[in-house]
Structure 1
Amino acid sequence: MKIPPPKSWEEFEEITLDACKIKWENPDLQMHGRQGQAQCGVDIYGANHIFKNIGVQCKNYESELSLSLIKDEIRKAETFTPKIEMFYIAVTTNTDVNIQREVRFLSHERANENKFPIMILFWTDIIQDLIRNNSISKKHYPQLSLTDLNTAETRDVRLFSILDLVYNTLNLDLYNNLIFGEFGQMVGENPLQIQSVILTIKYSSSNVLNQSEYEQMAKLIDKYKDYLFHVGKRKEEFSWEIAEKISNEFTGIVNGIEYNLTGKELAVFNVAKILAKWSKWEVDSDSLWPKESWENLKTFVGRIKIDELRNKIEKSESEYMEMDHFKRLDCPHKIYNEIRNILIHQAE
């Protein structure tokens, strides 16, 4: 079910504020100033779920998001006081893998310079958080009944939630290594990425796992967040190997759900599992992903029975063979995003 973005920038800011309150479980997030006042590039500010000061800039327009515009907003946000520790740009446009890649590299550079990292919140991200609360969803979209929203959640959200849960959980150890590095400190990739992954795992778990499994996963997520983003002095020196050991506990929970899945859900589970394995392959190997692995992916994609999805994979395989190693690194995640978007919009 496709929910259109609002035309009014005021309404978009209100929707984004409510979605962020749900996302970070903080009802105290606030709008910053009003139209006509200098806002230093920040429309929404407050603390997120790990008590970091965040700022959100809302951009309601239909044109493509550019890197130059993002840099302009960053320069403004750097003047905000007190200083923010993470910066998000919320937009009404659809997910764009190219701008995501550029933002990752830019955020990586900033993290290495001890500057706040950045991330884009696309319209699909905002809506996914908003529909987690039916009463708030109805406030902004009263024409949608609770039945409409619940139908969308049970019919559409479960499939892409399985994809999100499996892909991100099985990649946690890879993210640990890339983001925190072997020296026990935040180096390399954007540390904001791991926080986004944790939120995705938590949300997708609530749509896929039964109550006891979800409670187990929620406790594990809290344990994981507390270790990675511990506030105050640690009893022991940080070790990414310990973080990796904790993240591996997630794998056991996720692997266990495979035996309760059938049909499309089982096919999506296996697609996510293959893509996660592929991500690690690209990091560890200079050679092309094996032909038989492509065939396995296409087999399970075929069982999802979406023509557009099969065509995407066929095209991706031919493009992959022409890529250099640097571009191949991003290929599994690009395909994951494409599959995810198709699953989200398949019932339109």
Structure 2
Amino acid sequence: MNSHKIYMPPPSNWQDFQTLVGDVAILKYVSESVQEYERQGQKQNGVDVIAESINGDIISFQCKETTKGTITKEVVDCELEKAKNFVPNLSVFFIITTSPRDVHLQDYCNKLNKNGGLGFKIYIKFWDDMIDDINRSRPLLVSSYKYYLEEFGTREKKPICIQ
């Protein structure tokens, strides 16, 4: 049987994107610990979603829904500065974006991690990475993209070949 990745478009607004990031975080971290952090207009220190690993590490996510292009190093730096003020101290800081993969931003984050000094690790994940995570979870795929799947002929009871 061939495996195919189902490519879905990103959510059309930042609120739905942030919720989807939280739903993916539930798959990877202690589910009870995952929460959207803040409400619109509140200071958030660069954190939109927060979670705790089974080791007790504080994992945070900054969600960047973009309509054109990609984010820049300057955006990464700005969000890092905010995240440094988060209490309690972060262990890992993810920037999750609807942008396509960008090797320059990946290299930049890798360099920041290698140089140290942040007090936490930084990783950037792109929409392609989110699609991979969504495709690995049938319940998440169905709950987040049910109508999209139905439109393209994939019914909930039919098995979906996941990568």
Short-chain TM bin: 0.7 to 0.9
Query: Given the alignment, which residue of 42, 56, 65 partners 2:61?
Result: 56
Mark the runs of 5 or more structure 2 residues left unpaired by the alignment: 1-5, 150-154
- Normalized per residue, the structure richer in helix is 1
Amino acid across the alignment from 2:92: M
Query: Given the alignment, which residue of 9, 23, 26 partners 1:21?
Result: 26
For the residue of structure 2 that corresponds to 1:64, the secondary structure is: coil
- Normalized per residue, the structure richer in strand is 2
2:152 maps to 1:142: no
2:42 maps to 1:32: no
For the residue of structure 2 that corresponds to 1:79, the secondary structure is: coil
1:72-91 → structure 2 map (5 Å cutoff): 72-91=78-97
Q: Which is greater in Rg? A: 1
- Give the Cα–Cα distance (whole angstroms) in 1 for the partners of residues 58 and 40 of structure 2: 22
1:1-348 → structure 2 map (5 Å cutoff): 1-24=6-29, 26-61=31-66, 62-110=68-116, 113=117, 115-143=119-147, 144=149, 145-146=155-156, 150-151=160-161, 153=162, 157=163
TM-score w.r.t. the length of structure 2 is 0.84
Distance 1:103 1:114, change over 3 A: closer
TM-aligned CA deviation for residue 21 of structure 1 = 1.1
Aligned to 1:249: none
Mark the runs of 5 or more structure 1 residues left unpaired by the alignment: 158-348
Coordinate RMSD, CA, aligned: 1.8
- Give the Cα–Cα distance (whole angstroms) in 2 for the partners of residues 101 and 118 of structure 1: 11
Distance 1:99 1:141, change over 3 A: same
Alignment length (residue pairs): 151
Distance 1:34 1:149, change over 3 A: farther
Contact 2:34 2:52 in 1 (8 A): yes
For the residue of structure 1 that corresponds to 2:74, the secondary structure is: helix
User: After superposition, what is the alpha-carbon deviation per residue over 1:193-247, rounded to whole angstroms, capped at 9, x for unaligned?
Assistant: xxxxxxxxxxxxxxxxxxxxxxxxxxxxxxxxxxxxxxxxxxxxxxxxxxxxxxx
The percentage of aligned residue pairs carrying the same residue is 28
Contact 1:18 1:136 in 2 (8 A): yes
For the residue of structure 1 that corresponds to 2:33, the secondary structure is: coil
Distance 1:148 1:80, change over 3 A: farther
Contact 1:29 1:44 in 2 (8 A): yes
- Give the Cα–Cα distance (whole angstroms) in 1 for the partners of residues 53 and 143 of structure 2: 23
Distance 1:56 1:114, change over 3 A: closer
